[in-house]
Amino acid sequence: MTFSVLNPCGLIFHQNYNQLFPNADAPLAEKARDKKLLGYHDIRVGNEPDKRLSTFVHTKLPKVLPVARRNFEIFKDLLTEYGTGQIHYDAFAARAAKRAREIGLR
């Protein structure tokens, strides 16, 4: 739901498949991996982004930014109202969907 409501408003999403901890936090990463504690199986330790994240930042993001920026400007007033608590999620989602339909994004 988050993607389908916010993406037309100009927000950009990138799904991470791994939790990346810096080398300095290796002991914390081990605790988070512990099945008796948090049990995160997808933690990686390192100071460099993985190939997927690098591709997103350097290749894909520049391609989607112009349209995302345009859409953000169109929805900025609604995003501000929602972000500052002036309207609740259900009203925001309904108004955003209506506007997206009106301008042909849905």
Considering its fold, how many domains does the chain have in total? 1
**Predicted local confidence at residue 106, as pLDDT:** 75
Backbone angles phi, psi at 94, to 5 degrees: -65, -45
Mean predicted confidence (pLDDT) in 91-105: 95
pLDDT band, very low/low/confident/very high, at 105 (cuts 50, 70, 90) = confident
DSSP E strand stretches across 13-88 = 19-21, 43-45
- Cβ-based neighbours of 11, under 8 Å, separated by 6 or more: 68, 72
Residues 10-22 have a mean pLDDT of 91
| Domain encompassing residue 82 | 2-102
**Cα dist. 3→28, 81, 99 in Å?**
31, 19, 16
Length of the chain in terms of residues written: 106
pTM passes above 0.75? yes
